[in-house]
Amino acid sequence: MNPVYVTQPALPPLDEYTQMLEQIWSQKILTNNGPFHQEFEQELCRYLGVEHLSVFSNGTLALMTALQALRIVGEVITTPFSFVATTHSLWWNNIKPVFVDVEPEYFNLDPDRIEAAITPRTTAIMPVHVYGNPCYMERIREIADTYGLKVIYDAAHAFGVRRNGHSVLEYGDMSILSFHATKVFSSIEGGAIVCRSEVMKKRIDHLKNFGFANETTVIEPGINAKMNEFQAAFGLLQLRYVDGYIARRKEIAETYRSGLRDVAGIRCMEDIPGVRHGYPYFPVFVDAAQYGMSRDDLYEKLKQHQIFGRRYFYPLISQFPTYSGLSSARPENLPVAEQAARQVLCLPIFPELSLEKVAEILSIIKS
């Protein structure tokens, strides 16, 4: 039996991609702001409903560059319930992450706990739209405005997510996307920064290309984070099909949710009213006392049937040796995140997953 993974990239038709590869080869432009790169940025702006966007070779370099572009220093308040790239981007910029607990419904940064973590060294807040569910963005903005802080959203899971008709990428000083192969939308590897002005986009574009302003002038110490033409071409093709991919993911998510609604000890997240979700993951939370089996036992049981879920996010970032010595990383400071990390299991979800296979997964969970 073939393994069923949490997610996998939806592949565009090979003949279309082959045509684009032939075009790249004939133009002999492989990278450095080539024609597909430029078209990709334009089409992403159109699809996402944003004005200023710069694509990157991956989302981690986009996060690191965003912090440089905004000249963030000192301390940044963030969440322990995320992928390590969130805090690694801070560490690489010599910025101290300060962990704040998450709220218990969608496990986003809890705005009620942010102010207590602010110190004279705090310069920014970096929330994460966990599983693509929008944070409490207005409350975070109010806090940031009160204390003069920047807000940088890690929107790696939030491609195409809209709330009341508006893109969640419109909030904050910047939002950072990931186009990794495991995401709803993929350019194999890739990412992007959404910013608020053309001036800032130019600064970002300089930073991702070694700081070059022109052929002979380097205006600041940049990095090499450019997206190549092959990634951009793949992304352009994915854009043609992404709405269909999201619709299919929604169908799978609704099937899971319906099948698990009456299973004691298994909690599913409900869609947020007014939000157009992307369904990047389908997390369930296992209460061992009610379900009769721990999350880890269920994880192993599914593996025995060649079904591979993901304990996402486990362990917490705050539990890794790099960060566990921070005072804000103490487990007693993060009770909601600690419990979520013990209980979460993301079930397989990707466009090619059949409803028959979903029914099999449900049957195993129910048994």
- SS3 string of the chain? CCCECCCCCCCCCHHHHHHHHHHHHHHCCCCCCCHHHHHHHHHHHHHHCCCEEEEECCHHHHHHHHHHHCCCCCEEEECCCCCCHHHHHHHHCCCEEEECCECCCCCCECHHHCHHHCCCCEEEEECECHHHCCCCHHHHHHHHHHHCCEEEEECCCCCCCEECCEEHHHCCCEEEEECCCCCCCCCCCCEEEEECCHHHHHHHHHHCECCECCCCCECCCCCECCCCHHHHHHHHHHHHHHHHHHHHHHHHHHHHHHHHCCCCCEEECCCCCCEECCCCCEEEEECHHHHCCCHHHHHHHHHHCCECCECCCCCCHHHCHHHHCCHHHCHHHCHHHHHHHHHEEEECCCCCCCHHHHHHHHHHHHC
Domain-wise residue ranges, the chain: 14-238, 242-366
Supply the pLDDT for residue 10.
Answer: 64
Using one digit for the tens of pLDDT, what is the confidence trace for 115-144? Answer: 999 999 999 999 999 999 999 999 999 999
Supply the pLDDT for residue 16.
Answer: 84
Indicate whether 9 pLDDT > 70.
no
Domain 242-366: CATH superfamily, name plus number? Aspartate Aminotransferase, domain 1 (3.90.1150.10)
Q: Do domains 14-238 and 242-366 have the same CATH topology?
A: no
Range 14-238 classified under CATH 3.40.640.10:
yes
Using one digit for the tens of pLDDT, what is the confidence trace for 154-203? Answer: 999 999 999 999 999 999 999 999 999 999 999 999 999 999 999 999 99
Query: pTM of this prediction?
Result: 0.95
Using one digit for the tens of pLDDT, what is the confidence trace for 193-248? Answer: 999 999 999 999 999 999 999 999 999 999 999 999 999 999 999 999 999 999 99
Indicate whether 2 pLDDT > 60.
no
